[in-house]
Amino acid sequence: MTEEIRAQTYVGFDSITQQIEHKLLKRGFQFNVIVAGQTGLGKSTLINTIFASHLIDSKGRLASDEPVRQTTEIQAVSHVIVENGVKLRLNIVDTPGYGDQVNNEGCWDAIIKYIKDQHSAYLRKELTAMRDRYIQDTRIHCCLYFINPTGHSLRPIDVIVMKKLSEVVNVVPVIAKSDSLTLEERESFKIKIREELIYNNIRLYPFDTDEDDEEEVHLNESIRQIVPFAVVGSESNVIIDGKSVRGRKNRWGVVNVEDANHCEFVHLRNFLTRTHLQDLIETTAQIHYEAFRSKQLLALKEGVNQRPAASQ
């Protein structure tokens, strides 16, 4: 092991963190999210609530007698959000709702294909002889998977889709519109879901690594104790105790979206933006993309080896 030596006078290389920060701030950051789940669970509203911006239009009913509008194909929407001089290029990918049809066989194929296509596009650019200095990154860093708040158990389709998705992307499950459950029903539902995830060997994000320190391991464990996040989304303001807060009214009263006693939205937002944003990006590159890249390059090598030798 190389011995550490303390410089006798100030050299200045400790400013490298400031140099890196300066370059990164100029370049900005890229974060790509895909949302999945059945129709009518408020996927668009939750995304808008998390980033405190109107980023995608809701597909909800405009009138009570109107049928739910549906996303019929995979759609990507991009925005640049600025906060205290930090630019975040946010790419949100909305997917068609599924699970409503009589036959849901293979309904997850289009989502899996889209995620793999982004890996493939990145790999092609990476292998180009004259590649760009900064490759545009459309690889999906996080999949928010929306679970119907039935209060019973996961549907078989949810188990299958989450298992398939967890092999190619960081999956973060959320119980949508959780204010339709009492606190007791919500906690019981969360426990059932965690048991089903373990039983079906579905490995969800976050993952522990050898590089994690004690604080990071403890943080990840605390997140696993919360997952799935029971959330409520709202772009509307309501008055609570004379203050205007984001929330909505339900049969029990008024839900304050940002009150941890009402729902776990704040835990989800902090997890996605304040504690694990960079790790979601790195895990995508180091685990999911690396697995895809290795498989593709090995297949390419085998294809070359199997070609007949050129005639002399």
Q: Name the band, by pLDDT with cuts 50, 70 and 90, for residue 61.
A: very low
Strand, helix or coil at 232? coil
Amino acid at 153: S
Residue-wise pLDDT tens digits, 127-157: 888 878 888 999 999 999 999 999 999 999 9
Residue-wise pLDDT tens digits, 180-196: 999 999 999 999 999 99
CA 83 to chain centre: 20
Nearest to 250 by CA among 265, 233, 264: 233
Domains and CATH numbers, the chain: 27-292 (3.40.50.300)
Average pLDDT, the chain: 87
Q: Name the band, by pLDDT with cuts 50, 70 and 90, for residue 68.
A: low
CB 200 within 8 A of CB 159: yes
Residue-wise pLDDT tens digits, 253-278: 788 888 888 899 999 999 999 999 99
Pairing label, strands 243-250, 253-256: antiparallel
At residue 62, the pLDDT reads 47
